[in-house]
């Protein structure tokens, strides 16, 4: 498998620290509100990365943090006349609800910043002892960026260019405008913890360096997140971790592209800001996931009502193929037929195309194309006219589900159970059709539709889908 490495700006063969194992750190949400559709992209994309690596036989340790102490969380708590813990607990629970709706697997470990305060303090002490950090009279501790000669290597910007845009805010006593906070001295009314520099709380960047070190080790295989995190967050993580540990922090850096809304940058000021919950209530969660993986992860994508409707229609086509195939498998007979081996070979070509796409820097766009090509050949070769064997139907269904599962798609179960009253109507309709009483058959179809039940007639019988 080849991965585009932001650090080197080229695709590189994936070579893990330990054979057969992958250690991944993904930057998680700051839990002060519902996640928006921009947040959903890295969550879905790197869930697929994990799924695919596991599919290829790797043992994956996937760490995704929760930033549960931050300026935004404190502001939210003040607005709600609450406290940081209540706010963070609430939105961690809401995140998990949305993540489950998006079919995102829980991380191997979901650490929280506030669970790692002592480890954060220990890391800052090491940086200070090595001369990479300094404390101020106000209880703040800053990282000396000019001491790390490779600062800027991830964002590919020389330090002098970065310094040109740096400022010292009111109340900061930095040696250099580019220095960043490792520890923030306590302010009145804010939560704080004891430290060698007085009461305070951790800076944002140090949290991830500390949690990656604690749960994955000094060097990890893959670090991932949104493109907006390259600078300063990930740049600062590299500086902290490599100065503290004396070894490379991460071998591969993966970053997903931005999401626009109606071809404009998503912004509350433009009134085009949508939470995952808002969109899911109208369209369901799965079309959101489909949108996130329908393009290559490094490419920008656009959200609009028309596009999410197209995603919904695309999923319907994939579901229809599986429903027809499931029905066929249930009603077919055993005993493989001549020529079915060639059909299996044909279907397996799409599996190869799927793997080739995913091996090429997680190209989910081409992988989804391979899944649609598989659906096309299933529809063409396995139907009531060809009367395939149960063995072939089962083989095709298993392959179809196997590839869809790697992408985390087709996970919304459609229930086919109907009560006796509905079944009676269905039987009456079938009798009307047999008697060629089309008007009565249509009347019953309309009555069933009004109850939320869609009838699909096939040469082998009726497929019932409860909406």
Of 367, 297, 410, 314, whose CA–CA distance to 41 is shortest?
A: 297
* C-alpha–C-alpha distance, residues 191 and 199, integer Å: 9
Q: What is the pLDDT of residues 76-116, one digit of tens each?
A: 999 999 999 999 999 999 999 999 999 999 999 999 999 99
- Alpha-helix residue ranges (DSSP H) falling in 407-437: 420-434
The DSSP annotation for 300-330 comes to: -EEE-HHHHHHHHHHHHHHHHHHHHHHHHHH
3-state DSSP helix/strand/coil % of the chain, to nearest 5: 50, 15, 35
* C-alpha–C-alpha distance, residues 295 and 452, integer Å: 33
Q: What is the pLDDT of residues 319-346, one digit of tens each?
A: 999 999 999 998 899 999 999 999 999 9
What is the average pLDDT score of the chain? 92
Of 183, 351, 361, whose CA–CA distance to 257 is shortest?
A: 361
* C-alpha–C-alpha distance, residues 253 and 8, integer Å: 9
* C-alpha–C-alpha distance, residues 116 and 106, integer Å: 20
Predicted confidence at residue 467, as pLDDT, reads 45
* C-alpha–C-alpha distance, residues 44 and 42, integer Å: 5
265-283 average pLDDT score: 84
| Cβ-contact 17, 23 below 8 angstroms | yes
| Share above pLDDT 90 across residues of the chain, in percent, rounded to a whole number | 79
Q: How confident is the model at residue 262 (pLDDT cuts 50, 70, 90)?
A: confident
């Amino acid at each position: 498998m080849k991965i585009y490495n932001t650090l080197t700006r080229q695709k590189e063969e994936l070579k893990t620290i330990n054979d057969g194992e992958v250690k991944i750190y993904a930057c998680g949400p700051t839990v002060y509100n519902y996640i928006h559709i921009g947040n959903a992209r890295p969550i879905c994309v790197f869930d697929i990365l994990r799924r695919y690596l596991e599919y290829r036989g790797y043992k994956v340790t996937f760490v995704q943090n929760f930033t549960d102490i931050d300026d935004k969380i404190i502001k939210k708590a003040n607005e709600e006349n609450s406290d940081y813990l209540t706010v963070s607990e609430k939105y961690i629970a809401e995140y998990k609800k949305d993540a489950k709706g998006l079919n995102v697997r829980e991380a191997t470990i979901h650490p929280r910043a506030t669970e790692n305060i002592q480890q954060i303090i220990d890391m800052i002490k090491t940086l200070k002892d090595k001369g990479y950090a300094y404390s101020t009279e106000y209880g703040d501790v800053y990282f000396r960026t000019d001491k790390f000669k490779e600062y800027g290597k991830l964002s590919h910007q020389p330090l002098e260019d970065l310094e040109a845009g740096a400022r010292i805010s009111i109340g900061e006593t930095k040696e250099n405008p580019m220095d960043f906070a490792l520890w923030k001295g306590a302010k009145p009314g804010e939560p704080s913890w004891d430290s060698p520099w007085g009461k305070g709380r951790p800076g944002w960047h140090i949290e991830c360096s500390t949690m990656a070190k604690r749960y994955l080790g000094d060097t990890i295989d893959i670090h991932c997140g949104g493109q907006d995190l390259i600078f300063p967050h990930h740049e600062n993580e590299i500086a902290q971790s490599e100065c503290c540990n004396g070894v490379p922090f991460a071998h591969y850096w993966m970053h997903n592209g931005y999401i626009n809304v109606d071809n404009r940058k998503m912004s509350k000021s433009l009134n085009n800001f949508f939470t995952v919950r808002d969109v899911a209530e109208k369209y369901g969660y799965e079309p959101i996931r489909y949108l996130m993986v329908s393009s290559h992860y490094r490419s920008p994508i656009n959200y609009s009502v028309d596009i999410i409707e197209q995603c919904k229609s695309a999923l319907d086509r994939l579901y229809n193929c599986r429903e027809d195939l499931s029905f066929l498998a249930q009603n077919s007979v055993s005993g493989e037929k001549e020529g079915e081996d060639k059909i299996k070979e044909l279907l397996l070509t799409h599996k190869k195309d799927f793997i080739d796409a995913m091996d090429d820097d997680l190209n989910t766009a081409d992988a989804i194309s391979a899944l649609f090509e598989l659906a096309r050949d299933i529809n063409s070769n396995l139907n009531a006219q060809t009367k395939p064997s149960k063995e072939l139907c089962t083989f095709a269904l298993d392959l179809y589900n196997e590839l869809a599962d790697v992408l985390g798609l087709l996970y919304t179960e459609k229930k086919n159970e109907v009560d006796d009253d509905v079944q009676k109507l269905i039987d009456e309709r079938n009798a009307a059709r047999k008697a060629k009483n089309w008007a009565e058959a249509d009347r019953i179809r309309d009555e069933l539709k009004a109850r939320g039940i869609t009838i699909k007639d096939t040469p082998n019988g009726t497929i019932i889908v409860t909406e």
